[in-house]
A = this chain, B = another copy of it.
Amino acid sequence: MEPLISLVNGQQCEQISIQDRGFNYGDGIFTTLKVKQGCPLFLSSHLERLSRDSSRLALPSPDVKLLTAEIKDLAQIYSDCVLKIVLTRGVAPRGYFCSDSVPTRALIVYPEGELPFSKTLVRYAVLRVCKTTLSNNLQLAGVKHLNRLEQVLGRNEWRSGEFDEGVMLDQNGYVIEGTMSNIFCVRSGVLTTPLISQCGILGVMRGQVISIANTLKLPMVESQIRLEDLLWAEELFITNSLVGIWPVKQLGEKKYGSYTLAEECIKQLDQMVLNEVRLWNNNAVYSPAPDLPG
């Protein structure tokens, strides 16, 4: 899908400099969020991620106020869309060293994706296991940086519409995530998600599901998971900021018949989304809180 509009450092622009370090080295980070009825969903979590990931790569801290203003403007015009935010170390001379540079801030608006983030489950996901593995590296683990060749290779292992997502393992054979999603499973009634400590991305929707589990007082762990654990699980679902929570009906040969916990989480997520949209459109978000009488 072609972008509807893109802004580079605040200016409408469809190109970036050939000297940008994002292009030359993948020296930057990104996040992708869903805009629903004019509301950029879970915006504060996305902004937190951008700040946290910037600090992990020693990128200049994003100007959150400026970013918020630009996102607000775009969300007002494109009220239901996908918004991708890319921050790079900017334009700089050739070479890995970078003494100083003006960072690049790109906001790219795409039409709504085909998979609805909705309370109605239109279908269930079918997964496969990727041959491509994820690299372990403490220094990069968790960060949604622009070095995404492993995901590219993993996702391009299949071309048919038969599969919706591929499960990726790390160098030690542990399950980490999907090519574009985080993974949750239910084992003996306990909601379990892979530990993101040596590789993988700390997805914004992953964080929301963990907070839902806390709210609903569901037993929940982050732990090392093997492929066998997924194959023995009662339930499996994947998450990302565009599809929300997506229950899985099949992984390879294994079929799942239960979606109870996923549906419970989806109900809660739908409620959170409704609240976010309502609050946003009442201008209650990002306005200063009123002084309360003492």
Contact = CB atoms under 8 A, between A and B. Distances in A.
Interface of A: 1-3, 6, 8, 13-27, 30, 32, 57-58, 82, 84, 86, 89, 93-99, 106, 108, 110, 132-140, 145-156, 159, 171, 179-180
Q: How many copies does the complex hold?
A: 2
A148 B23 contact: no
A146 B8 contact: no
Given A96-B148, A137-B135, A147-B149, A20 B17 contact: no
A180 B94 CA distance: 12
12 contacts: A1-B94, A6-B18, A16-B18, A16-B23, A25-B151, A26-B149, A27-B149, A82-B94, A95-B180, A97-B155, A140-B150, A146-B149
B23 A58 contact: no
Given A15-B15, A136-B135, A58 B156 contact: yes
A3 B27 contact: no
A150 to B, nearest CB: 7
A144 to B, nearest CB: 12
A175 to B, nearest CB: 17
A16 B19 contact: no
B150 A137 contact: yes
A36 to B, nearest CB: 18
A136 B8 contact: no
Contacts of A17: 14-15
B25 A23 contact: no
Contacts of A133: 137-139
Contact of A135 (B2, B135, B180): B135
A138 B2 CA distance: 34
B96 A154 contact: yes
